[in-house]
Structures are given as C-alpha cells and as structure tokens.
Amino acid sequence: MKRILEGLEPKSVFKYFEEISQIPRGSGNEKEISDYLVAFAKKHNLSVIQDKALNVIIKKDGTPGYENAPGVILQGHMDMVCEKNKDTEHDFLKDPINLKVKDDFVYAEGTTLGADNGIAVAYALALLSSKDIPHPPLEVVVTTNEETGLEGAAALDTSLLKGKILINLDSEEEGEFLVSCAGGGRAHIVLKPEWIKEKVKGPVYSIQIRNLKGGHSGQDINKGRGNANKMMGRILLDIKDNIDFKLISINGGAKDNVIPREIDTIIQVKKENEEDLIKKIKEWDDLFKKEYKTSDSDVTVKIELVREITEEYLSEDTKNKIISILSLIPNGVQTMSMDMEGLVESSTNLGVVITDKDKIEFISAVRSSVKTRKYDIMARIKTLADLVGADYFTRGEYPAWQYTKESKIRDLCIQVYEEMYGKKPVINAIHAGVECGFFAEKMKDIDIISLGPNMWDVHTPNERLSISSTKRVWEFLINVLKRIK
C-alpha cells in the first residue's frame, strides 16, 4: 500500500489513521474495524474486550512509576459519516477512503474523511503501541454507531471500566475544552402513501437542489445554512399554488445528523404548463442565490426532463400532506441558552426525506441541553404527524452531559495548556451529542473532559484535518497523561 501520509508528524498517529482509513467503517458497518482493533490489542499483548455491540475496550498497565496512578479512560468512536459528492464514485461498504494532503490539511477525494472520529482511534492506538511515553493505567474505549444515535455508548457495560478520569477525543477545535453537551434523539414521521396507477402523458421533470454546504446538524445548525428538504417544501408549496402537478417521488438528505445538501423531486405537469414550471424553478434558483449568498453561495436549483409519460403517481391527498409536513415541521435553532452566551440550547434538523413504495419517511435529529425542550420539539413533530394522519416514533435518545463546577482533569488541562502555550484555553459546551453523556449517567463519579485537533466541515465531503494541530494536540495529550500520578 502506498503511504499517502508517510512523513507527517506525529508518525505513529498518522500511520494508524491511514491504516483505519483503509477499512470501511460507516455506522452499522463496523465489524471489520472492530475486529481490527481486537487484532491490534492481541498483537501488542494487551487485554481486550469486544462486546455484542462491537464496542472494543483495550487496557494497558501504567508505565513504571505510574502503576498506582488514577486510571484514565481514552474514548472515541470507530464509525464515520459516509457522505460523498454526486459525481464521486465510491462504495462506502468496501472502498477505502482516498486520502490526500494539501498544505496543512488531510482531505479525502470527494467523500467525508472520517477524522470524526478516526483521529481519536489513531491517537489511542499510537499511545497503546508506544514504548517510551509515560502514562497512567489506560483503558481505551472505542464505541460503535455514534453517528446514528450514540448506540454503542448506550449499550456499553461500564462496570468493565475502573478509570475515574475520562478524556473524550471527539472534539473538533484545538484549545477548546468541552465540558457539557446536548442530549437528543431522532424523530420519525412515517406517512403511508396512496398511489394512483394510471398512464398519464405529459412531461416528467426532476427538480434538484445542489451545492449547499450542509454540515453537522448540531454544531453548524446556527450558521444559517440551507436545508435542502425544507427549501424543497417551499418550492413545492409555490408550485402547488400556481401550477397543477402530480408528485411522483421526493428524496433528500443522506443522514439525519447532517444538514441536507441535496434533494431530488420528480413531478409531472401538463404540456401547456411546462414553460411556467421551468420559469418558476428559475425564479427559485435566483431567490435562493440571494437568500443564501453568504452561507451557501454556490446553491443551485435545477430542472431536468426525465420522460414524457408516467404510469404511477401519488394521490392529491398524499401530495398535499407531504407539502404540509415539509412546510410546517420545525427546523433549525429553536431556543438559545440563557446561561452561556452564543450557545444553542435546542434545535432540530429535518435531515432525511425518503419515498418508498409503502411509506414516505421524514427523519429529524432533535437536540437540547434541556430535556423538557427536547420533548417539546418532539411533541410538536408528533402533533404534525397526528394532523396529517401519519405514524410517529422516536429512537436513539441520549442524555445530556451536565456541567460540573469541580473537575480535577479540567483544572489540569487548563494548567498544562497555559504552560505550553502561554494563554488560556476556551471552556465551552457543545450543541451536539457526545458520548460523555452516557458515561456521566452510568459512572456517577467519573471526571470528564473532551478535546481534539482542528477539523472543519465534518460530515461533508469538504471535511479536513489540520496536520499541525494534530501534532500539537498529541503533544498536549502526552503532557497531560504524564502529569496524572
């Protein structure tokens, strides 16, 4: 295998990052990467546990002089969000990530990079394989299905762990230590469609929204970026008020925890309305370019002729219900924190719309650092489902991680950071779910902090990892571990 990252520092970290990048590891497809971690532990004569959820725990004794130091849990997740550009040929079930290096960054060719959270795995493996880095007893916990609802952490038996300090490595901004996170869950509206089987002549068009930036549905929700699913709802409502049309399908977004960048809708109009439809889409293209000129300057709304006949379409009632859901479902920032300036308190993201033969599904990722706010949003979504006669259910709920006033690991991290860089780090909370919430809930006396190197545009094909920041955070982590005695 040609080493793309060879020569980058720290060598061991980038060596392991490149190794795991060769292993497909989308959420739900983690058996191979989980087995790789088990094989790694056995190769290095380390204690290892692999549970039914494919979570992996690897234990390493403290180095000489650290045998009786407080145990440290290093934690991250093995799965990654699998997003690609429309013109990129990539099978996430079998293809390795095609890495590239440009300037100070590691990217992937047309896909997500998986630095979220592959860099945590790489840091941990580099520490576990090290011969000369002083450290206290380590328990490396690598979980599964984090991106689809923190399901691995939810299933983890924490009684297997002895550590009293947890360093989560799933943060994305160097010099910012996370001390609290939102709780959340997924809300599903499932509409049973009524199909009309009838051969109808007339132009069938695909309406497409492309080139939105997307992003993490928690961390980027306050950036005003366009949500393709909600934007298509506006277009369809306008067309419905002005042009008679038949709706054939609508499919937008790929992951509920990603702000949807693209959507495709198939409709049919009468021949005499063809020019009006084309004109209407051009108007929306111009409108969105103006509305999103700052957040999504490259957005486009396109229309393409698909065929001149259809044999099946959704009933008028089903069409109207779909448009109502898209128009009325809550989306975006719902409340801001009154305790921490600039922090989103609660939000929701309509991440996925899928048309199948037997159902049309609308999936939202709901988040809040206040449990009652989360349930308020879910109740509103359920009310909408009830109004249109659709089914509703939730899944993948996870707890918030509450801020604690006293934390020895936080104090130590602040001290080490100030000594190394001569400035104070940022202490922050995050409007996203991190697995710390489950550990805090299950392990009442655990002392937790979350940190990581600089990454940008995670959950999108523009995801990139800073090489220099990866090195600095590695040096910082080593120094913190040395001080835990």
Residues annotated catalytic, as ranges:
79, 146
Q: How many angstroms separate the first and last alpha carbons of the chain?
A: 40
Cα dihedral 62→65→71→74 (10° resolution): -50
Q: Is the dihedral of CA 318, 319, 321, 322 positive or negative?
A: positive
Strand partners, 186: 365, 395
Q: Which two tokens stand for residue 102?
A: 């440009």
Residue 436: C-alpha distances to residues 78, 110, 213 (Å): 15, 31, 28
Residues 432, 446: Cα–Cα separation, whole Å: 20
Residues 273, 268: Cα–Cα separation, whole Å: 10
Residue type at position 451: L
Q: Which of 444, 325, 442 is nearest to 387 (CA)?
A: 325
Contact 203, 305 (CB under 8 A): yes
DSSP string, 237-268: HHHHHHS-EEEEEEEE-S-TTB----EEEEEE
Residues 214, 299: Cα–Cα separation, whole Å: 11
Residue 372: C-alpha distances to residues 124, 328, 329, 367, 445 (Å): 36, 21, 19, 11, 25
- How many helices (H) does the chain have, and how many strands (E)? 11, 21
Instruction: Classify each residue of 180-208 as buried b or exposed e, where b means 16 or more C-beta atoms within 10 Å of its C-beta.
Output: bbbbbbbbbbbbebeeeeeeeebbbbbbb
Contact 134, 417 (CB under 8 A): no
